[in-house]
């Protein structure tokens, strides 16, 4: 198991015996001085007899001192051995995370036209969804699966930035049933974006949408859902009961989403 850019795995991972020896020493360090070999065996998935043999080996190599009656302590030499092996593992994991996993990161996009495997495509945002365009774009990727127009395809090896503007959120306060104020359905219809989404937060807001013959696109989890839709380039009209406004505006401010709260009674 090697990689041309990262070198071989650390020695402690080269064979099962070295890896198990490392695990046993870690467990002794975590449990000292009262160490149960049966608990170590159960934790790392080997037999108690195997743990006993590893413990004897560690004592013989001066990595562990025994005080008798199940009492063990890791020596300075043992700590140094753990540190040296752990540093090697950390370097290897960093290589795997930075160079291996990121290099094979695959996302999904909807094909605007038929695409083949291994084709360079542009990435565009439409209706809040990433699309793969054979004609190009400000950002590009390489397809890892083929697909017909309208199908989801895998894309990787991303370069550039997808060019689109963040949407805006218009918030329509809806009076609660305990308030004397009322809101007519026309208020909702007049502010709903033509190509955007409608979100309702609260029963009164849903009832207003129903009276306006409008079906909400987002009804649940609206705090995050509305912000996410705007961040994907969609305009949103949020009809929210007044007592729910602070939660929604707090999330929008936190995520730097442009938003406007309409005057009550509009």
Confidence band, pLDDT 50/70/90 cuts, at residue 131: very high
Structural domains of the chain, ranges and CATH numbers in brackets: 11-102 (1.10.10.10), 107-160 (no CATH), 169-261 (3.40.1010)
pLDDT tens profile 184-240: 999 898 898 888 999 999 999 999 999 999 999 999 999 999 999 999 999 999 999
| Helix 37-44 and helix 48-60, axial crossing angle in degrees, nearest 10 | 110
Q: Which residue has the tokens 């442009």?
A: 258
pLDDT tens profile 49-99: 999 999 999 999 899 998 877 788 999 998 988 888 887 777 777 765 655
- What is the reported pLDDT for 171? 97
């Amino acid at each position: 198991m090697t990689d041309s850019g990262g070198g071989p795995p650390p020695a402690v991972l080269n064979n099962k015996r070295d890896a198990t020896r490392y695990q046993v020493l870690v467990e002794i360090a975590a449990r000292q001085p009262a160490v149960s070999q049966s608990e170590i065996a159960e934790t790392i998935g080997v037999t108690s007899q195997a743990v006993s043999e590893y413990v004897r080996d560690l004592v013989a190599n001066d990595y562990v001192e025994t005080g008798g009656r199940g009492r063990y302590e890791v020596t300075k030499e043992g700590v140094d051995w753990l540190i040296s092996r752990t540093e090697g593992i950390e370097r290897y994991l960093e290589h795997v995370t930075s160079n291996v996993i990121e290099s094979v990161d695959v996302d999904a996009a909807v094909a605007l036209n038929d695409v083949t495997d291994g084709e360079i495509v542009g990435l565009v945002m439409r209706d809040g969804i990433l699309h793969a365009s054979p004609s190009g774009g400000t950002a590009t990727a390489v397809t890892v699966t083929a697909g017909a127009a309208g199908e989801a395809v895998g894309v990787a090896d991303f370069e550039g930035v997808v060019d689109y503007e963040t949407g805006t959120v218009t918030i329509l306060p809806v009076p609660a049933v305990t308030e004397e104020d009322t809101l007519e359905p026309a208020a909702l219809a007049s502010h709903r974006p033509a190509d955007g989404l409608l979100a309702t937060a609260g029963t009164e807001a849903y009832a207003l949408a129903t009276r306006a013959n409008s079906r909400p696109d987002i009804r649940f989890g609206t705090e995050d859902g509305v912000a996410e839709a705007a961040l994907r380039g969609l305009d949103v009209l949020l009809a929210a009961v007044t007592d729910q406004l602070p939660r929604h505006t707090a999330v929008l401010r936190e995520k730097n989403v442009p938003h406007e709260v309409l005057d009550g009674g509009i």
